[in-house]
Amino acid sequence: MNPSTPLYLDDLQPGQRFASPASFTLDEASIKSFAARFDPQPFHLDDAAAQASIFAGLSASGWHTAAITMRLLVTGGLPFASGLIGLGGEIAWPRPTRPGDTLRVESEILDVRPSRSKPHQGIVTVKNTTLNQHGEPVQVFTSKILVFRRPASAATL
Amino acid sequence: MNPSTPLYLDDLQPGQRFASPASFTLDEASIKSFAARFDPQPFHLDDAAAQASIFAGLSASGWHTAAITMRLLVTGGLPFASGLIGLGGEIAWPRPTRPGDTLRVESEILDVRPSRSKPHQGIVTVKNTTLNQHGEPVQVFTSKILVFRRPASAATL
């Protein structure tokens, strides 16, 4: 469950789970407009081409799914006080995202690694699973995030 | 060097290199509008907050860099005849992308693995390095892409 106040490195430990408070519904127009700008391939732009493709119907760019996932994480899904500063990670798209799909994200802390050289920060590994309205994963992103310790001035709050 | 005709699985082998024929220049307005939609964090939206952050100035969302990279790959950077159907991969953002940066992509085939069960397709591992105008990597994405064999009807062309 998500905490009532944002979390610092000090507060995080493996096994903690979070869920995006919001969800995000994709429509056909936004799938096509994102694709036109960033992933102009026929199966993301044209219904007939999409039907004839391996996707057997219109699907969103994986990068659109990734961007929506980030929005869900930033707007409360991963309540880190120092923000979500991603260093990178491993991403997979096990199935397409379709027009009308409603996405949400579930996250789990896998690892918390304080920096040896910079004592005020650390790297947290988080597995973020983006699910559609059927509970099927459409993206799994295991991310490495730079997280800061609670500032001294906030220590006694 | 990029070929004059798009490539099928049959044509690919480790060590082949490609370069995006186009480049893409980011401006401050597009950084802020992408971030407002998908990554609304102060250091991607507000100049003063960005200056005070670990980025020491406005920077693009990593997902914006990823989306632009995809555009550069789809528009000739990776000339695969069956398109760029990404299954996933490993992504890293070694440094921020800034307003005014001009991005291009260099790609190298690392592995070509024909499917055992589906003889007309295979999985190709490609390392895509996105570089700024100083030749510095801003993203490294080692992707797994589903690639098809040349159709029988095209075999004698």
Chain centre distance of CA A123 = 17
CATH number at residue B132: 3.10.129.10
Classify residue B140: in a domain, yes or no: yes
Look at residues B93, B87, B76 and name the one whose alpha carbon lies nearest to residue B111.
B87
Question: Which residues of A lie inside 8 Å of B (Cβ-Cβ)?
Answer: 34, 37-43, 54, 61-63, 66-68, 70-71, 74-75, 83-93, 140, 146
DSSP E strand boundaries for B39-131: 85-92, 102-114, 121-131
B23-67, pLDDT tens digit by residue? 999 999 999 999 999 999 999 999 999 999 999 999 999 999 999
Residue B144: pLDDT above 70? yes
Q: What parts of chain A have a pLDDT lower than 70?
A: 1, 154-157
Residue at A127 is within a domain: yes
Residue of B nearest to A71 (CA): B38
B156 to chain A, minimum CA–CA distance in Å? 24
For residue A68, which residues of chain B lie inside 8 Å, CB to CB? 38
pTM (predicted TM-score): 0.95
Helices (H), A12-61: 28-38, 42-45, 47-52
Residue A140 domain-assigned (yes or no): yes
Q: Reduce the DSSP state of residue B54 to 3 states and report it.
A: coil
Instruction: Name which of A74, A85, A87 is nearest B92 (Cβ-Cβ).
Output: A87
- Closest-CA distance of chain B to residue A36, Å: 9
Tell me: the pLDDT tens digits for A62-73?
A: 999 999 999 999
Q: Chain B residues within 8 A (CB-CB) of chain A?
A: 34, 37-43, 54, 61-63, 66-68, 70-71, 74-75, 83-93, 140, 146
Asked if the structure places residue A19 within a domain, the reply is yes
Q: Which domain holds residue A16?
A: 9-154
Taking an 8 Å cut-off on Cβ atoms, the answer to whether B68 and A38 are in contact is yes
Nearest-CA distance A132 → chain B (Å):
17
Which of B70, B88, B93 lies closest to A93 in CB terms? Answer: B88
Q: Is residue A53 part of a domain?
A: yes
Q: What is the ipTM of this complex?
A: 0.94
Residue B157 pLDDT greater than 70, yes or no: no
b/e code B19-58 from CB counts within 10 Å (16+ = b): ebeeebebeeebbbebbebbbebebbbeeeebeebebeeb
* Of residues A37, A66, A85, nearest to B66 (C-beta): A66
Q: Minimal Cα–Cα distance from B71 to chain A, Å? A: 5
Whether B3 is covered by a domain: the verdict is: no
Provide the number of structural domains found in chain A.
1
Residue B28 domain-assigned (yes or no): yes
- Asked, for residue A2, whether it belongs to a domain, the answer is no
Distance CA A83, CA B112 (A): 38
